[in-house]
Amino acid sequence: MTLRIACDDAAPEAVGQTIRDRLDEWNIAVTGRPDWFRITVLLRDEAGDIRGGVLCNAWASWVHVDFLWVDEDCRHQGWGARLLEQAEARARERGCTHAYLDTFSFQAGPRYYERFGYQIFGTLPGHPAGHTHYFLWKRL
């Protein structure tokens, strides 16, 4: 067998999915935990347009909040909190006992998530330059 390394920054999404699937197969084989699932909670306006949302993935009783976003003109009205609370509730319904996420100092930041019981377990200063990348977790 001859192997070669090739960079392909424009690879189709299916290529990335293949890598994720193969790693998932390994993780399941080693841990015996096939309980991976997604959680998507959307904020829509009266026209059905997406104005915010939270995207999560869960595995092995932990839910990872990948993205939480609310349109700028909808912020400071509690929508982010409601989206996060709904995602956490859905995760608990499906057996999750813990949650984790990451955020930056120029985003909502750790103070926002600490209001919901998240605790910092790591920081990456200078990512990007002049800012800090925070990693947080909580029990559900």
- Give the pLDDT band (50/70/90) at residue 87: very high
Q: What is the CA radius of gyration of the chain?
A: 18
Report yes or no: 63 and 140 within 8 Å, Cβ to Cβ.
yes
Listing from the earlier edge strand, what are the strands of the sheet with 37-44? Answer: 37-44, 50-59, 62-70, 98-104, 132-139, 119-125
pLDDT at 82: 98
Q: Which residues, in sequence order, are bridge partners of residue 122? A: 135
Hey, what CATH topology would domain 38-139 get? Aminopeptidase (3.40.630)
CA distances from 109 to 91, 112, 129, 131, 135 (A): 22, 6, 16, 10, 10
Global confidence as pTM: 0.90
Q: Which amino acid is present at 100?
A: Y
Residues 16-58: pLDDT tens digits? 999 999 999 999 999 999 999 999 999 999 999 999 999 999 9
